[in-house]
Amino acid sequence: MDITSERRLDDGILEREFTLGEIPGTLWTSGSEPAPLILVAHNNGLPRREPRLVARARHSASHGYAVATIDAPGCGDRPRSAAAEQARADLRRAMKAGEPVDEIFESLVGPLVDDAVPEWRTALDALLELPEISGPVGYSGWTALGIRLAVADPRIAAAGLFAGGYVPRAVREEARQMTVPLLFLLQWDDEGNPRQRALDLFDAFGSKEKTLHANPGGHLGTPAFESEDGSRFYDRHLR
């Protein structure tokens, strides 16, 4: 891991940019003692500098966690594949025309998850070698990635997932193998995610401890108080 920049933010959090080969990432820490780690990822691989992701990361860091994110392949400043760009163009056209979009999402999100999970595990290997990170590890964010990562990597001890992103059919099947404690956030009126599909996915999760928080409102309307509830969830399972 190469640290490419660091700065102390006005709330006292240390923000460091890093690279792992071609993988760019950001790490936020506060305090001097080794801390549990939370990995944060945005739905469908949006950039790691997306303001809502950064706000979530800084909130968790302010509660004493080390928090890290990376740009998945084809996201942020990383080169995008021709196939992904075509799928995004097809998706915009289909949504504008009111046409079915599930198969387009499959062609876009499935490969994103396949490519992203190995890189997140590589990043986790490097992060856990840092003296300021003690483990255990939590995950927060993009549902499709979180399911695959929690099933594939036993170091993930708890997961907070946002229901507002498309989950490929193969990953929905993998949800039955997911056993870590789970907090699942659903916006009841999410315009891009059918409510029943999210409820069916929650029912499929194999976790013995799983909690669903449903709030009225659209995709971007998750209440601010859910951050505090999320902190209590991670405190129970990572401390």
Give the residue-averaged pLDDT of 178-205.
94
Confidence of residue 187 (pLDDT cuts 50, 70, 90): very high
> Stretch 139-157: mean pLDDT, rounded?
96
Domain ranges across the chain: 2-78+115-238
Tens digits of per-residue pLDDT, 36-79? 999 999 876 677 888 888 999 999 999 999 999 999 888 887 88
pLDDT-based confidence at 194, cuts 50/70/90? confident
Residue 38 has a pLDDT of 98
CB 35 within 8 A of CB 66: yes
Instruction: Using only the alpha carbons of the chain, give its radius of gyration.
Output: 17
Does the structural domain 2-78+115-238 have CATH classification 3.30.70.270?
A: no
Cis peptide before 136 (omega within 30 of 0): yes
Question: DSSP string covering 152-202, please?
Answer: H-TTEEEEEEES-S---HHHHHHGGG--S-EEEEEETT-TTS-HHHHHHHH
Contact between residue 62 and residue 91 where contact means Cβ atoms under 8 Å apart: no
SS3 state at 44: helix
Could you give the percent of the chain with pLDDT greater than 70?
A: 99
Q: What is the pTM of this model?
A: 0.94
3-state secondary structure 196-234: HHHHHHHHHCCCCCEEEEEECCCCCCCCCHHHHHHHHHH
As given in the structure block, the two tokens for residue 143 are 């549902």
For 69-125, what is each residue's pLDDT tens digit? 999 888 887 888 888 889 889 989 998 998 989 999 999 899 999 999 999 999 999
> Which pLDDT score, from 0 to 100, does residue 45 have?
61
Evaluate if residue 31 carries a pLDDT over 90. Answer: no
Distance CA 103, CA 83 (A): 14
What is the CB neighbour count within 10 angstroms for residue 116? Answer: 24
Q: Which residue has the tokens 């999100």?
A: 109
pLDDT at position 44? 65
Hey, how many other C-beta atoms are within 10 angstroms of the C-beta on 143?
27
| CA-closest candidate to residue 174, choices 143, 199, 196 | 143
How far is residue 35's CA from residue 116's CA, in Å, rounded to a whole number? 25
User: Measured between alpha carbons, how far is 67 from 116 in angstroms, rounded to an integer?
Assistant: 18
For residue 22 the two structure tokens come to 């071609």
